[in-house]
Amino acid sequence: MADRAFEIVMAIVFWSLCIGAAYAAYLVWRDDAPLWLTLTRSSDEAVRRGHQRGVVPFAAAWLLFVGSLTAEPFVGLGAGVAGIFAFMVGLLLHFLIVWFNRPRFLVPPHMRDDVGVLTAWWRGRAGHG
């Protein structure tokens, strides 16, 4: 019985985080996100803005991951494996957006002209900044 209670509490916590991530993605997409809404504690403005750009695939990855973990007892182990794969793909997309601002269709419309963090660093290093 204690194991079941723990699973229920963890499901509530994870689904609450999913709702928070989805709401953050909604706010960033609409350009209504408060300045404190970032996924990092970096003091570099480009890094903070990059993580805001990448919140959409991060929220989708988190949602698919938690959904698959919640469905695993009902569907089987395949759901958990698929959820982990989807989470990894979402994280890869998140970091591609942070570093290179690609793929553009996943970047919020008002941030599509930004330069990715690594692209900006490379241009500054090469003297093209």
Tell me: the pLDDT tens digits for 19-78?
A: 999 998 999 999 988 766 766 677 777 888 888 888 899 999 999 888 888 887 777 778
Percentage above 90 pLDDT, the chain: 40
Which residue, among 24, 16, 28, has the nearest Cα to 66 in the 3D structure? 16
* Residue 2: half-sphere exposure toward Cβ, Cα within 13 Å: 0
Judged against a pLDDT cut of 90, whether residue 88 lies above it is answered with yes
Q: How many Cβ atoms are within 10 Å of 53's Cβ, its own excluded? A: 23
The pLDDT value recorded for residue 35 is: 66
- Residue of 26, 111, 98, 99 whose CA lies nearest to 60: 26
CA 129/CA 123 separation, integer angstroms: 5
